[in-house]
């Protein structure tokens, strides 16, 4: 899959999330203009506070993307560290770590995320922790599998026979060999992080309702749509689905580019 169009689409979404709120300036609640349908003055309509929904969705998308990016980076670094340590030390330590990884994978991510986020409701750090701490095992397994394959390569064995220590081999040979896969895993984590943040905020255990995110906008739309204001749900939902699909397409393209040809020896 070519990464050109998904990358352009994703870059356009991120650019819109940054530029639209800047051009619109600070919004002020105007209840006299609440729940107006899409029109010339407000292309996406207004919400029940009277805010321009297009601007509000862009603000929410910006927050959701920022939280998702931080979550993906933290989860990737944690998974990379654990995977490298487990594969480098090997033996019983590797077996214990992998059983812990299996245990984390067995836990329902959303339920664990709700528990963590509910302990510090409305705190962005709690949302980041709830997502990052439930998504690192996938990265750790990918990194460990790649390292076990690379560990038998001739150039790694030569370095060991020359007297290099485990950590020298890991730093100079193993970590650079899995950096590409770790980056791919991080990209693939981004849509999951966006969905989880939106879900947590939608359920009321994420960001506070006064802070715009895709989840809080969707949560507020539950009551508005009963009055016929369908656009309050359609606009942020379209932004959420479009962003997740763009991330997934970019991640799939990156994964295919970093996948070795059949029969290639690392």
Domain at 85, CATH number: 1.10.3720.10
Higher pLDDT, 152 or 261: 152
Q: Please give the residue range of the domain that contains residue 43.
A: 4-258
Residue 265 within a domain = no
What is the pLDDT at residue 238? 93
Domains in the chain, number: 1
What is the pLDDT at residue 258? 59
What's the pTM value of the predicted model, to 2 decimals?
A: 0.82
Give the range among 5-9, 160-164, 236-240 with minimum mean pLDDT: 160-164
Residue 104 within a domain = yes
Q: How far apart are CA 136 and CA 151, in angstroms?
A: 22
Residue 167 within a domain = yes
Compute φ and ψ for 46, nearest 5 degrees: -125, 160
Residue 120 within a domain = yes
Element (H, E) at 219: helix 214-224
Residue 263 within a domain = no
What is the pLDDT at residue 266? 38
Q: Tell me what the pLDDT averaged over the chain comes to.
A: 84
**Is the per-residue pLDDT at 236 higher than 90?**
yes
Higher pLDDT, 87 or 19: 19
Mean pLDDT (whole number) for 140-152 = 81
What is the pLDDT at residue 259? 56
**Is the per-residue pLDDT at 1 higher than 80?**
no
**Is the per-residue pLDDT at 34 higher than 50?**
yes
Higher pLDDT, 231 or 185: 231
Q: What percent of the chain has pLDDT over 90?
A: 22
What Å distances lie between residue 173 and 41, 154, 176, 178, CA to CA?
58, 11, 6, 9
**Is the per-residue pLDDT at 263 higher than 70?**
no
Q: How far apart are CA 164 and CA 185, in angstroms?
A: 29
Residue 264 within a domain = no
What is the pLDDT at residue 261? 45
Residue 266 within a domain = no
Q: What percent of the chain has pLDDT over 70?
A: 92
Q: Rounded to 5 degrees, what angle do the CA atoms 206, 209, 213 make?
A: 65
Nearest residue to 193 (alpha-carbon basis) of 239, 257, 266, 133 = 133
Q: How far apart are CA 81 and CA 48, in angstroms?
A: 46
Render pLDDT for 153-205 as a digit per residue (tens, 0 to 9).
766 777 766 777 777 777 777 778 788 778 888 888 888 888 888 888 888 88
C-beta of residue 139 within 8 angstroms of C-beta of residue 72: no
């Amino acid at each position: 899959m070519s990464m050109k169009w998904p990358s352009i689409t994703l870059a356009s979404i991120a650019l819109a999330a940054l530029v639209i709120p800047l051009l619109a300036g600070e919004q002020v609640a105007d209840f006299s203009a609440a729940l107006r349908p899409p029109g010339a003055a407000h292309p996406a309509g207004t919400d029940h506070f009277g805010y321009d929904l297009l601007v509000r969705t862009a603000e929410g998308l910006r927050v959701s993307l920022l939280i998702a990016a931080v979550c993906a980076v933290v989860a990737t670094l944690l998974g990379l560290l654990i995977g490298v340590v487990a594969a480098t030390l090997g033996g019983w330590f590797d077996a214990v770590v992998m059983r812990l990884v299996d245990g984390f994978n067995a836990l329902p991510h959303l339920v664990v995320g709700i528990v963590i986020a509910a302990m510090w409701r409305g705190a962005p750090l709690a949302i980041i922790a709830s997502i990052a701490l439930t998504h690192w095992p996938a990265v750790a397994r990918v990194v460990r599998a790649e390292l076990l394959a690379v560990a038998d390569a001739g150039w790694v064995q030569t370095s060991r026979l020359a007297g290099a220590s485990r950590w020298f081999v890991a730093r100079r040979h193993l970590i650079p060999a899995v950096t590409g896969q770790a980056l791919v895993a991080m990209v693939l984590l981004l849509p999951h992080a966006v969905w989880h943040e939106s879900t947590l905020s939608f359920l009321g255990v994420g960001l506070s309702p006064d802070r715009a995110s895709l989840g809080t906008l969707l949560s507020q739309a539950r009551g508005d749509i009963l009055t016929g204001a369908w656009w309050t749900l359609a606009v942020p939902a379209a932004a959420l689905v479009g962003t997740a699909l763009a991330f997934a397409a970019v991640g799939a393209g990156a994964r295919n580019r970093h996948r070795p040809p059949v029969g290639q020896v690392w």
